[in-house]
Amino acid sequence: MDRRTALTLPLLFPFARHALAQAAPGGTITYGQSGGVTAIDPAQGSFATYPAGYEVGYCLYDRLVDFDQNLKFVPQLAERWEVASDLKSVRFHLRRNVRFHDGTAFDAQAVKFNVERMIDKARTPTNRPLWDPLSAVEAVDQYTVVVRTKEPYSAILNSFAHGSGSQVSPAAVQKHGEKGIAHSPVGAGPYRLESFTPGQEVVLTAFDGYWGGKPATSRLVFKYILEAATRVAALRTGSVDVIDSVPVQLIAGLRREPNIEVITRPGLRPMGLTINLSRPPYDDVRVRRALNHAVPVQAIAEKVFFGFARQSDSPLAFNTQGYHKVGTYAYSPEKAKALLAEAGFKPGGKTLKMVLLASDGLFPGDLSIAEICARAFQQVGIDVTINKIERGSYWDEIRKDRAALTFDLAMFGFNPSNASGLYHLESLFKSNVDDAGRPTVWNFGRYRNPKVDQLLAQANVTSDAAKQAAIMAEVQKIVWDDAPYVWLHVNENATAVRKGVKGVELWPIVFTIPRRATVAA
Amino acid sequence: MRERNVYLWAGGAMLALYVLVALFGQWLAPYGGNDQDLLNVLAAPSREHLLGTDQVGRDLFSRVILGTRFTLTVAVASAGIAGLIGVTIGLVAGYFGGRVDSAVTGLIDLLLTVPNLILAIAVASVLGAGLAGLIIATTASFVPSLARLIRGRVLEIREEEYVQAAIAIGMSDARILARHVLPNALTVIVIETSLLTGQAVLVGAALGFLGLGVQPPAPEWGTMLSGGREFLEVAPHLVIAPGIAISLLVFACNVFGDGLRDRLDPNYRA
Amino acid sequence: MLGFTLSRLVRIPAIALGVLTVIFFIFKAVPGDEATLMAGATASQADIERLRGQLGLDKPVVEQYATRVVGILRGDFGYSSTFRGNPLPHILARVPATLALMACAIGLTILVGLPAGVLAAVYQNRWPDYLLSFLVVGLLAVPNFWLGLMLIVAFSVQLGWLPSFGFTGWSSLVMPTLALAARLIALVARMTRGVMLEELRKDYVRTAYAKGLDARLVIVRHVLRNALIPTVTVIGLQMGYLLGGSVVVERIFAWPGIGDLMVNAVGARDHTLVQAITLLFVVGFLLINLAVELLYQVINPRLRHA
């Protein structure tokens, strides 16, 4: 065989596989994801990359508790549960006759194994705020488990509904090892792993022995397609059936297509510019409020995102658990200048300098937002330098030790993937254990307010939902007024599917879940 | 003869135009490079905005004009510095020969095995973003081949009779280099460097396109092409203008370089 | 010929080692703590120190260099933060896509460039010639990434004929190949035209015409064969461009090759991956050069080494 044929022959294999896939009974749904999947394990690697890995995880694994489309708790592997009134323990009653993909039984021992794995920092270095509060887990009998926490912890169910609460087969972990399980995942969900090319493709097939009945769709294929235009093109030609992260400027065009349906939902991720409070004069609240008045947030939401974004009126997103509307910082360059003058920055006098960190492709429209904000700040007399950081190194850049920080403002958006507003507030606004070192969670602006800390601690131990909401409302008001961020907007998430594909869920926490989807033959 | 001069004049005229735009861009551009008009995002070309607006409402025509400065600076600086370094290395290696030559040639040959753009990318990734890094990376990618060419010419010159004579009568190396070698190598140096300028524009723009160039909101053409990519469907005009600007500049450089070559040495064969 | 091939092959590792050395030390000169960079944002100080020990980043630089060289000989290219381990298998998995693109580019160049040059020479100073000159000048000035974008706008966005992303079949090869090959086609066409013109002036051609031999036969037999060597030369000289150009073209078309991987590596500051890919490009370049030289000898027996 000549060289040309030899070179091209291997290229035919993917086409063959594609053809076979189309022939599977029950159909195949192909999902073009904006991120690549490199690890499918709640612990090590924690469903990298975010959110793609989670989306696969939600189809392959089951958890004790699940979210419905409105982020309310529903039973999954636990039939029912009782949360103790002191919020220090919860008793789960497990479903019977559930098997993992490898045939082993799901029972209290399995749950104990998984929870201990999550509590163990060495095996689960990520998602610590969700699991650190837990102290012990006890298998009372074969189908009953009690989980205890160190302090009263009201968001305990959120931890179990979160992706990291996925139940992994202990036998599989023994077999493949702690690290190996990420590439050979074995769960109890409706789909099992067929093949996995890390960073490129995951193929799942329907699991016959699923406790909820074999799912209608035979195969789920997850493909990594980085470029948005590419994803959209793939959807148009039909080589994928579902895509996530549809760029807002393309939504109108896609909606005009007869074969395509666009689903949008307000997200849970409020965008903002984190202010580095460890660098004067950004520790002066007048300066921070001035910054908030300087940016035309409404115009950004309407024009840059074509209306698919909404100006924030709280540090939390609109449908986060515990959201409370606080207010707006009106767009007023005059007011901004006045506040800056009060703080000592008058025209002709001292100039305020700013280094603004912008990511490139990490958040929707991030560069455009950065350029607009920079210009807005310039128009109130601030000398702005934009520092663009590639998406791959952005997290490293913002989470440095205080002395090593390189910015005054940095673009950021946090997505509380357990939907809990309390979790969101704690991650961003609870004082760091050590301001000089790395931030405990995401408080890399070094915000410190003892009143907020006290209120958050209180909210954690309050079992009365109304009281908790009131406390959280107060926290949001304080934080909003303190302005440790330049508050921006909340994006709508957009997913697109081909007509005939039904049941794809778009959760506010940015995940697109094809777990219960079906495709017309 | 006349035909060759046409190249020189035509290319030269276009280049002069670019230089003028680079120098006086601020006064030629109808809007500022960073004037955002959020009510007028991604607008098609119109009378107010000759080339339309970009995703934050900036006038594209103004940004293309203002971007001339970056590209021209990078191209001229890289070609010039590469020329200087290449000449130095080529002169030293070619004239003195021996172990210095072997060492230098070895290093050059080594670097020549790395494709041009790859070397630029590798250097840029070490240096990070910014105008200085961009110039250094582009320069670095051209130095090896330029040094090699000049060294080759120096080797030829060294064997010429008048040089051999000068050595024989004991003239100092410095004088020989200055009075005999350099002037005779000048043609090659000038021609190659000018031909290089067009390449430098392309490499610089490519680095900008890959995100290795200057920081936003600088109106660099390569960066603008990269930024316009996600809007190909709704606003293709964003990628047309900067690309034409780049192409015409490269065209001008090539034509001028060809004309220069024909004028200085019609029998030139590198 | 075998001896020649072997002697060249043997030199490749030596050259690769040299390049590796230069690049390794350049990257080590960059300020910044590598262990922190590789461990990622969520790592604690303890994790960073553990990684530092694991990867031997606390040892002297020369020792790290030696470890890396030995590792490469065993196929271990170091710790890439993107793949959390040896990047070699991931890189190799992407090589076929890049090879396919380059092969098609070279193929297209020969298929289009040669005949274009021939036609221009045969119809010298008439409209095909002027058209070619115009196109050549244009294609040499146009940045290949812009050409790619324009092709996408025309054939994907406006006309919807061709896919603009990834490697999904023959139709997805069309535009990337065109974008990459454009410059080569221009150079080959120009070269072929020049060679043709020289040959056409030669005596034997006039004799053939006088004798009434079919002109086309003459052209094909003698002239084209003489044009082949310069063509191969041009393509060989432009290999560097082809490899480098594949990087930007792959980026535009989301082509799953090693050029695309390199750009991601730079963005993610994954220095190990950047070095590994650069090394592979070098080795590839050297192998292609060797192939070109062997091709010379096949075409022109006079160049064969005894």
pLDDT tens readout for residues A333-352 = 999 999 999 998 888 888 89
pLDDT exceeds cutoff 60 at A7: no
The angle subtended at Cα B33 by Cα B28 and Cα B37, nearest 5°, is: 115
**Rounded mean pLDDT of B166-195?**
82
pLDDT more than 90, % of chain A = 45
Tell me the C-alpha distance between C20 and C14, whole Å: 10
Out of A82-96, B233-247, C10-24, which region has the weakest mean confidence (pLDDT)? C10-24
**Rounded mean pLDDT of A235-251?**
86
**Rounded mean pLDDT of B155-166?**
83
Write out pLDDT tens, residues A395-404. 878 888 888 8
The angle subtended at Cα A358 by Cα A357 and Cα A363, nearest 5°, is: 140
Could you give the dihedral angle defined by the CA atoms of residues A50, A52, A58 and A63, in that order, rounded to the nearest 10 degrees?
A: -20
Interface test mutation site (partner A, options B55, B121, B134, B229, max chain A beta carbons within 10 A)? B55
Strands (E), A414-449: none
pLDDT exceeds cutoff 50 at A1: no
Contacts of residue C117, Cβ cutoff 8 Å, sequence gap at least 6? C132, C188, C189, C190, C191, C192, C193, C194, C195, C196, C227
Residues of C (153-182) whose Cβ lies below 8 Å from B = 153, 157
Closest-CA residue of B relative to A390 is B211
Write out pLDDT tens, residues C238-273. 888 888 888 899 988 888 888 888 888 887 778 888
CB count within 10 Å of CB A385 equals 12
How far CA A417 is from CA of A162, A272, A320, C39, in Å, comes to: 7, 18, 10, 23
Nearest to B210 among C26, C30, C263 (CB): C263
Contacts of A230 in chain C (CB under 8 A): 164-166, 254
Kindly list the partner chains of chain B, i.e. chains with 3 or more CB atom pairs below 8 Å: A, C
Distance from CA of B36 to the nearest CA of A (A): 7
**Rounded mean pLDDT of B168-182?**
81
Nearest to B41 among A304, A378, A388 (CB): A304
Query: What confidence tier does A18 reach under pLDDT thresholds 50, 70, 90?
Result: very low
Cis previous bond, A364, omega within 30: no
Whether B56 sits inside 8 A of A387 (CB atoms) is no
Residue A369: the pLDDT is: 93
Whether B113 sits inside 8 A of C278 (CB atoms) is no
**Rounded mean pLDDT of A175-184?**
87
Query: What confidence tier does A518 reach under pLDDT thresholds 50, 70, 90?
Result: confident
Inter-residue contact C110 to C231 (CB < 8 Å): yes
Site of tokens 């837990």: A134
CA atoms within 13 A on the CB side of A123: 20
Whether C247 sits inside 8 A of B121 (CB atoms) is yes
Residue B150: the pLDDT is: 86
The dihedral region occupied by C40, where left means phi > 0, alpha psi between -120 and 50, and beta the remainder, is left
Write out pLDDT tens, residues A371-390. 999 999 999 999 999 998 87
Query: What confidence tier does A179 reach under pLDDT thresholds 50, 70, 90?
Result: confident
Inter-residue contact B90 to B154 (CB < 8 Å): yes
pLDDT exceeds cutoff 80 at B265: no
**Rounded mean pLDDT of C94-116?**
89
Write out pLDDT tens, residues B161-174. 888 888 888 888 88
**Rounded mean pLDDT of A243-267?**
88
Residues of C (80-99) whose Cβ lies below 8 Å from A = 82-84, 90, 96, 99
Write out pLDDT tens, residues B86-143. 888 888 888 887 888 888 888 888 888 888 888 888 888 778 778 888 898 889 888 8
Nearest to B114 among C19, C142, C248 (CB): C19
Contacts of A14 in chain C (CB under 8 A): 167
Kindly list the partner chains of chain A, i.e. chains with 3 or more CB atom pairs below 8 Å: B, C
Whether A11 sits inside 8 A of C267 (CB atoms) is no
Query: What confidence tier does B3 reach under pLDDT thresholds 50, 70, 90?
Result: low
Residue B257: the pLDDT is: 85
pLDDT exceeds cutoff 50 at C174: yes
Closest-CA residue of C relative to B120 is C244
Q: Name the pTM for this structure.
A: 0.80
pLDDT exceeds cutoff 60 at A24: no
Query: How buried is A174 (Cβ within 10 angstroms: 0-12 exposed, 13-18 middle, 19+ buried)?
Result: exposed
The chain-wide mean pLDDT, for chain A, equals: 86
Contacts of B123 in chain C (CB under 8 A): 26
Residue A505: the pLDDT is: 78
**Rounded mean pLDDT of B151-180?**
82
Going by DSSP bridges, is the β-strand pair A242-243/A28-33 parallel, antiparallel, or unpaired? parallel
Closest-CA residue of C relative to B229 is C149
Tell me the C-alpha distance between A69 and A504, whole Å: 11
Tell me the C-alpha distance between A273 and A359, whole Å: 11
Residue A10: the pLDDT is: 39
Contacts of B234 in chain A (CB under 8 A): 249-250, 253
Nearest to A303 among B41, B216, B234 (CB): B41
Residues of A (273-332) whose Cβ lies below 8 Å from B = 296, 299-300, 303-304
Contacts of residue A305, Cβ cutoff 8 Å, sequence gap at least 6? A248, A364, A365, A489, A491, A492
Relative orientation angle of helices B116-127 and B182-209, to the nearest 10 degrees: 70
Out of A146-155, A422-431, C192-201, which region has the weakest mean confidence (pLDDT)? C192-201
Contacts of A38 in chain C (CB under 8 A): 83-84
Whether A227 sits inside 8 A of C83 (CB atoms) is no
Distance from CA of C108 to the nearest CA of A (A): 13
Whether A229 sits inside 8 A of B227 (CB atoms) is no
Contacts of A225 in chain C (CB under 8 A): 165-166, 254
pLDDT more than 70, % of chain A = 94
B146 to chain C, any CB pair closer than 8 A? The answer is no
* ipTM here: 0.84
**Rounded mean pLDDT of B230-239?**
86
Residue A13: the pLDDT is: 35
Closest-CA residue of A relative to B229 is A229
Site of tokens 């031999």: C213
Q: Which residues, listed in sequence order, are joined to residue A242 by a DSSP beta bridge?
A: A31, A497
Contacts of residue A319, Cβ cutoff 8 Å, sequence gap at least 6? A71, A266, A268, A508
A362 to chain B, any CB pair closer than 8 A? The answer is no
Closest-CA residue of B relative to C134 is B251
Tell me the C-alpha distance between C182 and A272, whole Å: 45
Whether B232 sits inside 8 A of C149 (CB atoms) is yes
pLDDT exceeds cutoff 80 at A414: yes
pLDDT exceeds cutoff 80 at C199: no
Contacts of A441 in chain C (CB under 8 A): none
Nearest to B36 among A228, A229, A372 (CB): A372
**Rounded mean pLDDT of A69-75?**
82
- Residue A518, amino acid: T
**Rounded mean pLDDT of A58-82?**
88
Tell me the C-alpha distance between C222 and A371, whole Å: 62
